[in-house]
A and B are shown apart, each in its own frame.
Chain A
Amino acid sequence: MAAAETYPADLKYHPEHDWARLEGDEAVLGITWFAADALGELVHFEPPEVGSTVTKDASYGEVESVKAVSDLIAALSGEVLEVNQEVRDSPEAVNEDPYGRGWLIRIRLSDPGQVEGLLDVDAYRQLLAEQ
């Protein structure tokens, strides 16, 4: 079952509907409920390689539903430490729990200052309301 619409207050948001959870000098990245709902049930996650570098605002992978392909946009820059194997095996975890079991990658931040450029939950909700 797809999750109900939520946007946790403890996350930072990117206007391309990606979120980041900051954990010290690391961050966990994923896509928001809005993005998962717009795509529909996910059936494929094309992750970056562990050890590769992702760049803020650039694509680091893809997710696909039956009908559509979507680039994953990095909310922050850094080195990929871990890829969520559960989503690789069962991509629908993103629809079921986009901020929990449906996380996508963990990175070590290369430029923690970039966090300042992200949206807080109120600003992200405002952006959704304007769409």
Chain B
Amino acid sequence: MPDTLQHTPLHDRHVELGARMVPFAGWEMPVQYTGVIPEHRAVRTDAGVFDVSHMGEFEVEGPHAHELLQATLSNDLDRLEPGQAQYTLLTNEDGGIVDDLIAYRTGRHSYLLVVNAANREQDFAWLKEREIPGSDVRDVSDDCALLAVQGPRAIERLGLPAAPPFTFAEAAVDGVEVMVNRTGYTGEDGCELLCMSEDAGRLWDAVLERGAVPCGLGARDTLRLEVCYPLHGNDIDTATDAISAGLGWACALDKEFTGVEVLRRVKADGPERRLVAFVMEEKAIPRQGMAIEGGGEVTSGSHSPMLELGIGMGYVPVAQASPDSELTIDVRGRARRARVVKKPIYKREG
């Protein structure tokens, strides 16, 4: 960990807006502006904007870039045309999850990877070590800023054309050139806008002017938890495998990639435990690290602003993993009842 926290190009704007700044993965980031709950609701009902410039961006290019990534990432890049993206995992030899990321196919021989801030250096080193002649991996994170504009009215407010999820295109938002990625971490419609660092301020101002509510990492976490997107470092890590985590859909077990034999075996034998979603049946808020009776553990927990009760995810033995299973969570010494639910925990009506 560096002694001094890194700042995104929008740091001064966050401070001016009165954001509460906190350390996160070596960066000083806004956790909230007015409050987690109103920011969360803005994204569920209209549009919110998050500065996620702390995330890492790698360009992978060359005639063998595809081959390098097919061998190191779990999902099947043969399914991607240029202009399409997919959620995928960087796996280790034990089938553990080094990181989860989104791969954007920018050309026949070029990809953009967007990785978690906390794992940026490790991911880069991992890929560099495995580079093959004809593939080049470059960390371009410092040149880029990334704004996630999310919510049912996000695209309309930005004046962008409709597009399917997991596609991307070049566009301009009020004169700022951006890559519009139809991806996000909230379960809502919207996009992630990638721009040059020096344009970040102008883009942020334009997005706010268009009515998106500034949102911090606090709301980002409650939004992703309601829709059961895993957080690397909480719900998944190098000691957890994709099958137990319910991410088998992002693993092409019919191709060869790092750790695939282990994942095939877990899939064939059936995992011993599963990452489940649950809601509290009593007033209580589950938190990461709390024990679940029977050998399980909470990996993410919070208050759901939409359901107005405690929700979470955690690993439990398979016998407890089916929907409607009753769980008992140790909330600082108090036994509190919870119930396993199907993912996602929150689903938009209609």
Chain B residues whose CB sits within 8 angstroms of the CB of A2 once the complex forms: 35
In the complex with contacts A66-B222, A66-B302, A66-B303, A43-B35 CB distance below 8 A: no
Checking B31, B32, B285, B287 against A43 with a beta-carbon cut-off of 8 angstroms, the contacting residue is: B285
Q: Is there contact, CB below 8 Å, between B285 and A64? A: yes
**How many Å from the CB of A125 to the closest CB on chain B?**
22
Complex formed: what's the CA distance from A66 to B308 in Å?
11
Let me know if B218 is at the binding interface, CB within 8 A: yes
Let me know if B283 is at the binding interface, CB within 8 A: yes
Let me know if A123 is at the binding interface, CB within 8 A: no
Complex formed: what's the CA distance from A120 to B31 in Å?
33
Contact with B along A36-56 (1 / 0, CB 8 A): 000011011010000000000
Let me know if B260 is at the binding interface, CB within 8 A: no
A-B contact count (CB 8 A): 39
Q: Is there contact, CB below 8 Å, between A88 and B283? A: yes
Let me know if B329 is at the binding interface, CB within 8 A: no
Q: Is there contact, CB below 8 Å, between A67 and B31? A: yes
In the complex with contacts A64-B303, A66-B218, A41-B36 CB distance below 8 A: yes
Let me know if B284 is at the binding interface, CB within 8 A: yes
Let me know if A86 is at the binding interface, CB within 8 A: no
Let me know if A23 is at the binding interface, CB within 8 A: no
Q: Is there contact, CB below 8 Å, between B37 and A44? A: no
Q: What residue in chain B is nearest A89 (Cβ atoms)?
A: B283
Q: Is there contact, CB below 8 Å, between A67 and B36? A: yes
Let me know if A69 is at the binding interface, CB within 8 A: yes
Chain B residues whose CB sits within 8 angstroms of the CB of A66 once the complex forms: 36-37, 218, 222, 302-303, 305
Chain B residues whose CB sits within 8 angstroms of the CB of A25 once the complex forms: none
Report 10 cross-chain contacts, Cβ distance below 8 Å, ordered by A residue: A43-B37, A43-B308, A44-B283, A46-B334, A64-B285, A64-B303, A65-B36, A65-B303, A67-B302, A69-B332
Task: Give the B-binding residues of A (Cβ under 8 A).
Answer: 2, 40-41, 43-44, 46, 62, 64-67, 69, 88
Task: Give the A-binding residues of B (Cβ under 8 A).
Answer: 31-32, 35-37, 218, 222, 283-285, 287, 302-303, 305, 308, 310, 332, 334
